[in-house]
Each structure stands twice: as C-alpha cells, then as structure tokens.
Amino acid sequence: MENFKKKSFTVLKYIAFGVVIGVLVGAIDTLFGRVLIAITDFRTDYYLFLLPFLPLAGLLITWMYNKFSAVSLKGMSLVFETGQSKRNSIPLPLVPLVMIGTWITHLFGGSAGREGVAVQIGATLSHRIGRKFHFSNNERVLLITGMSAGFGGLFQTPLGAVFFALEVIVAGYLEYEALLPAFIASIVACITSHTLGLEKFSVNVTDTLDLTDYKVIIFLVIMGIAFGLVGRLFSYLLQKSKDFMKNKIKNPYVRIGVVSVPLAIILIFFYGGRYSGLGTNLISASFSGGEVHYYDFIVKLLLTIVTLAIGFQGGEVTPLFSIGATLGVVLGNLFGISPIVCGAIGYVAVFGSATNTLIAPILLGVEVFGVANVLPIAIVCIIAYIVNGNLSIYSSQQKAMFGFEE
C-alpha cells in the first residue's frame, strides 16, 4: 500500500510538473515564434537594406553573449552536458540571449533555424523549476520534459517532440521515466502555443507510393541512402567547420565580423535572399508546386553551416527540413514518382539522420504529413539512420551500445 501511494504521488507530481512547464514554455514559444515570423516577413520585403548589415549584427550578438553570459555561447552543449551530469546547471541568461540573438540573426538574413532556441529555453526553465520545487532528482527527466515542451510548442508536433527529446541526449537509450512528464508538457505546450495564435505547419499529403512495385522499393532504398548521406554530411561539415573557425580565427569578433561579409554578399546575390533565414520559403515551394532548383539543398546546407559555424544563433532543424524537402522533390522528379511524397520523406529523413534519431522523424512525418505514407517514411528513415553511422549535429550527444553509454 505504501509503495502504491508513493508511485501515485510521483505520477501526480510528474503530471503537475508537465502542465506547469507546458504552459510556461508554450507561452514563450509563442512569443519567440510570432516575433520570428514577423521578422522573416519584414526581412523578405527589405532584404537588400538589411543583409548588408549582417556583419554588424554578428558583432552585436557576440558582444551580447560576452557581456552577459559567455558560457551561454555553448548553447545546446550546455543541455547535453547537464543531462550527462558533466555540469550542474544551465545559466538562466541563456533564455533571453538565445531568443534575441536568433531574432537578430534572422532579421539580417543569416541562414539558421529555430528549434535549438525552443529546446534550450525549455530545458533551461524545466531544469531550474524542477530542481527548485524538487519534482525529480533525475536530471534527464527535468531536461527531457523541457525539451519536449520547447520542440512541441514551437512545431506543434507533440509525439515527435517527446521522442526527439528522449532519443537525442543519449543516442540508443531512452529515459522512460521521463515519458509521462515529457508527454504532458509537450501536449500542454502545443495547446498553449496554438491557443495563443502560433500556427502549425502541416501538409495533407494524399498521394501514395505503390509499394508492390519493385522499382518504387529500389527508389526508396536510394532515397534512404541519399538522405542519410546528406544528414551525415551536414553533421560532419558543421562540426569540422566550427572547429576550423575557432582554431583559425580565435577572436570571436574577427571571426563573425570578417566571415559574414562574404556570407552577406552571397546571400544577397544568390536569388535575392532565397537562402536566408529558416528555409520555410523552400519548404513552401516544395509542397506548393513552386520552383525548386536541383542545387537548392546543397547551397542551403553550406550557407547554414557557415552561418552557425562563425557564431550566429538559431538552430539546424528547420534548415534541415528545407534541405530534405528540396532534395526529395528533385529525386521524386528524377525517379518519376510523386515529388510531394518524396519531399515529405526527405523533410523528416534528413532531420533524423542529422540528429541521429529514428522514432522522432517517423512520428514527425505522421504529424506533419498524415498517415498515408507512414510505411515509406519509416523505411527511408531507417535506412537513413543506418547510413548516418551515429554522427550528429550535436557534438555533445553521447552514444549507447547495448544499454551501456560510451
């Protein structure tokens, strides 16, 4: 009886924790997301006036971090290190710094994402609140709950968010103790952000692939290999580029100020800011019959890597979505099968490969594109995950083999 009461109390405590974090993080996600949308629209209209100031924007971001919390520059690494018991806490100044830094990056045309911001905000607040009110002694439970709320509230994909947070800290190991509070937090964050006016991106894909046709199966295998290699390439180049920039240009002001000059020039003259920002314009083109170039995916990949490697703020996931979607459309047209379906598969498979996650991208595919193509999505994601070979955009991600962490 005593054991039952103890377990019941733990369940109620986790539910309460999930609700609190879900509401708080969902509200902040809404603020962050709606301002980012407004900034993106403004930059799209006035990119010729804003992009030339990208180097100055970079200097401002670097100054802010060094002035108020230099350690916060480590970003997602702080979340991973805390979850792996390598550090005790995540600095609270990270929350406003990463939000403002990302807004500035996008306003002046840097090629970056947004999920890193939401995940860092969620993890920071969840860890701080969870510790203060003793919701759990398990560091990973606290972090995974917040990460789920951050990702889920921003993208409004609660299942994908939960399993992304569960899978990503230690690849190959799932902290099932965190499942209940993470699920509650993700659902509540989604409801909160939606209620406050943040819209979900989704495409009702009704086209299907004929899996009884052996040619389609062959094409799916080829796509799995291609998406896996692109995710692997992104992860490899991102880590190598960050190391190269830090080693070759040690002064962060010189690094971001000088390198962003040619970056700004390229972003201006490559189709008028086409590759600036999140890449949602490329995603829209992929699923609305817009113009998609065969080189879109590689140009977006390279420019995002340079933007993040020199110190601009943001994330990688939305650019990865655009890279996968545009490549998928190109391959679909090449193979003579539905480019919309191939774009949807690429959207999640490249993300899964680059983050070294498997369950999350499959669930994300269902939540964004519906259930009509869940089997081909799963097939390609599995192949891409295998081809990736345990590389990740997150350098601090640990790997677990047979239940033992490396």
The tokens of 15 are what? Answer: 């539910």
Angle at 338 between CA 373 and CA 220, to 5 degrees: 60
CB 84 within 8 A of CB 396: yes
| Residue 2 confidence (pLDDT) | 66
C-alpha–C-alpha distance, residues 182 and 157, integer Å: 13
- pTM over 0.85? The answer is yes
| Residue 139 confidence (pLDDT) | 86
pLDDT in tens, 316-328: 999 999 999 999 9
CB 238 within 8 A of CB 393: yes
| Residue 146 confidence (pLDDT) | 96
Please provide the size of the chain in residues.
406
**Token match 């996931």: residue?**
317
Q: Which CATH number fits domain 214-405: 1.10.287.3510, 1.10.3080.10, 3.30.310.10, 3.40.50.300?
A: 1.10.3080.10
Dihedral pair phi/psi, residue 69, rounded to 5°: -170, 85
pLDDT in tens, 349-396: 999 999 999 999 999 999 999 999 999 999 999 999 999 998 999 988
Q: Please state whether beta strands 404-405 and 398-401 pair in parallel, antiparallel, or not at all (unpaired).
A: antiparallel
| Residue 402 confidence (pLDDT) | 44
pLDDT at 406 over 60: no
The tokens of 402 are what? Answer: 């047979």
Extents of the domains making up the chain: 2-195, 214-405
Q: pLDDT band at 270, cuts 50/70/90?
A: confident
CB 188 within 8 A of CB 19: yes
Strand, helix or coil at 398? strand
Alpha helices per DSSP H over 249-373: 252-269, 280-287, 296-309, 317-335, 339-355, 359-369
pLDDT in tens, 283-313: 999 999 999 999 999 999 999 999 999 999 9
The tokens of 257 are what? Answer: 């100020």
Amino acid at residue number 75: G
The b-or-e profile of 256-281 (16+ CB within 10 A means b, else e) is bbebbeebbebbbeeeebbbbbbbbb
Q: Which CATH number fits domain 2-195: 3.30.160.40, 2.60.40.4070, 3.40.50.1240, 1.10.3080.10?
A: 1.10.3080.10
One fold for 2-195 and 214-405:
yes
| DSSP summary character for residue 114 | S
Residues sharing a CB contact under 8 Å with residue 308, sequence separation 6 or more, in sequence order: 112, 238, 242, 314, 316
